[in-house]
Structure 1
Amino acid sequence: MDEFQQQLRQQYQIFADRPSVQNKIQAVLDCLKWLTQKQLPTQPLPALTYSVKAILADPRLMPLDDLFSQLRQYLIVNFGIWSLPNQAFIHDLKTFIQGRPALEIMAGNALISAELQQQGQSIQTTDTLEWQDQDNQRPHPWCSVQALDALIAVQTIPASVIIMSWAPDTDKQDYQLLTWLRQENFQGDLIVIGEANGATNSAEFWQTAQLKKNKQLNQNYRSLDNIQEAVYLVQ
């Protein structure tokens, strides 16, 4: 067991008098165990961040809050995971797709595609698998991934649903493929998971995309921290 998980277990003992806090810690520990087995948690993690008011009321929460704030970076370094979907969200996504031809671009380690396939949805999955200037450069996809540039993928693979999750903010390919889809009068659904005008995607993409939060797709999707990520349909 590594130091991060050891610290979580120590915090679990510290909060023996607060079962609600222990439940959050246990949820994270369980999640890490499942990810090691290439399985997603069944439900979203509970809200992990604590308010200043809560920390002032119980200062023991300060080191735990700091530990929780490190979770995303821990997932990136150890699992190559930048955001954390869950099985309930994937079920919502499968229901939304309704069996239509689907394509995931910039799939990373392809958690979404792998879980969709397990739930019976066919999907083609693509990524260059050449992660530059990232904290994890050792891809370990959860399912078969075609080594394709995202723009080439949308131009060559027929799909009615395109999924783009946590596209990097270091290039403009997301803007280029959005421009191409509009030129081609794409009539399907482009699903984007990320933080609008924040940690994901290019500024040009957010300035151009007409976004709509889909209630069905957000009901079981949660952020790990204070990054305001959500699931959008791009008009």
Structure 2
Amino acid sequence: MKETKLTFGQGRQLSTLLYYEQLVPFAQLYQAVKPLAEKIQLAMQVVQDLNQGYLPPALPTMAVTQADIDSLKATVLQRYPTDAVRGNHWWQSLIDSLPDLDQVLSNLRTYLIETFNMYGYVSQPLVEALGRLLNQQPVLEIMAGQGYLTAGLRALAPEQRILATDNQDWQDQPITAVKPVTSVEKLSALESLVRYSQEVTTILLSWAPDTSTADWDVLKWLRKHQWFEHGQLIVIGERQGATNSRKFWSQAHLTEVKTIQYPSFDIIDERLYFVH
């Protein structure tokens, strides 16, 4: 049975996807090398899906690995088991282009940020797993950015009460800002807590910036107001890494959400945590 794709809206509907076009010659060159061909096709599908308004698939490690190189060798030997001249020639053409392919695949997140303003990778499997965890309970996402996570949850469960807020400070960053993909109310994190914390049982905080201590202010507020007596805070980010403040990570009590796998496709190790 074909999987039904979750849509978050119209997407950007760009007529030219530079990243996709970069991958086309690699798709042709490595079509016989299954692991590399699959990574290339997945990367192409991701940008197509987001451009058309669909949540993208989950991703494996996108950088070229030693296992990929071993598979490349095996493919060459299988095609030319007794013809060393032709085998070596094909091998050289494949291996020479591998660093360029590795660089393009490793730049996927940068492209998603610059073109779609998607910082944390929001895939359909992630949203479906998170939806099961939330179990139709009312939710507030703070620092929601462009709203990809909320948009996915709203598409998954249209009757569920899902609020999203953001102060839009990220628009000052040196990227081209695009419109939010769902309704996101312009409020700071603390303003959101004052207004909505008593209406929800879960607060989501994904990819909080590492350039401020707003996340620590949130945690202090929730503790001060005994919010954890009836609610839960779920954080998605890289511990002591690309997201959130050092103060937050040092003071937060973390329990990893083991029921949701968040395999990282690049060097950023994103995970889900219950925080209190």
Flag as ranges the 4+ runs of structure 1 deviating above 2 A: 1-4, 50-61, 132-137, 221-224
Structure 1 vs Structure 2 CA RMSD:
1.8
Higher deviation after alignment, 46-55 or 172-181: 46-55
Q: Distance in 2 between matches of 1:88 and 1:3?
A: 26
2:62 and 2:265 in contact (8 A); partners too: yes
2:259 to 185, 203, 216: 216
TM-score by length of 2: 0.79
> Structure 1 residues 205 and 163 mapped into 2: Cα distance closer, same or farther (>3 Å)?
same
2:36 and 2:68 in contact (8 A); partners too: no
Match of 2:61 in 1: 47
| Residue 117 (structure 1) shift | 0.7
- Report the AA paired with residue 186 of structure 2: A
| Residue 54 (structure 1) shift | 5.0
- Report the AA paired with residue 207 of structure 1: S
| Residue 55 (structure 1) shift | 5.1
TM-score by length of 1: 0.92
> Structure 1 residues 73 and 182 mapped into 2: Cα distance closer, same or farther (>3 Å)?
same
Higher Cα Rg, which structure: 2
| Residue 4 (structure 1) shift | 2.3
Match of 1:230 in 2: 271
Q: Distance in 1 between matches of 2:53 and 2:175?
A: 17
- Report the AA paired with residue 222 of structure 1: P
Match of 1:80 in 2: 117
> Structure 1 residues 198 and 224 mapped into 2: Cα distance closer, same or farther (>3 Å)?
same
Q: Deviations over 1:130-176 (max 9, x none)?
A: 32552435241111110000111112203210111100011111001
Match of 1:131 in 2: 170
2:147 and 2:180 in contact (8 A); partners too: yes
- Report the AA paired with residue 271 of structure 2: A
1:49 and 1:65 in contact (8 A); partners too: yes
1:71 and 1:224 in contact (8 A); partners too: no
In the alignment, structure 1 residue 205 sits paired with structure 2 residue 205: no
Match of 1:168 in 2: 209
Q: Deviations over 1:192-222 (max 9, x none)?
A: 11110011111100000111111112x2x23
2:60 and 2:264 in contact (8 A); partners too: no
Q: Which runs of 5+ in 1 are unaligned?
A: none
| Residue 125 (structure 1) shift | 0.5
In the alignment, structure 1 residue 103 sits paired with structure 2 residue 140: yes
> Structure 1 residues 71 and 165 mapped into 2: Cα distance closer, same or farther (>3 Å)?
same
- Report the AA paired with residue 226 of structure 1: I
Structure 1 SS opposite 2:227: coil
Q: Distance in 1 between matches of 2:270 and 2:236?
A: 7
| Residue 17 (structure 1) shift | 2.0
Q: Deviations over 1:19-55 (max 9, x none)?
A: 22111111111111110122102x3112212336755
Q: Distance in 2 between matches of 1:224 and 1:165?
A: 17
In the alignment, structure 1 residue 15 sits paired with structure 2 residue 54: no
1:32 to 6, 29, 47: 47
1:147 to 186, 196, 202: 186
Match of 1:190 in 2: 233
Give the length in aligned residue pairs. 232
- Report the AA paired with residue 80 of structure 1: N
Higher deviation after alignment, 59-68 or 190-199: 59-68
- Report the AA paired with residue 46 of structure 1: P
> Structure 1 residues 143 and 132 mapped into 2: Cα distance closer, same or farther (>3 Å)?
closer
Higher deviation after alignment, 4-13 or 141-150: 4-13
Q: Distance in 1 between matches of 2:39 and 2:68?
A: 15
Structure 2 SS opposite 1:85: coil
| Residue 62 (structure 1) shift | 1.8
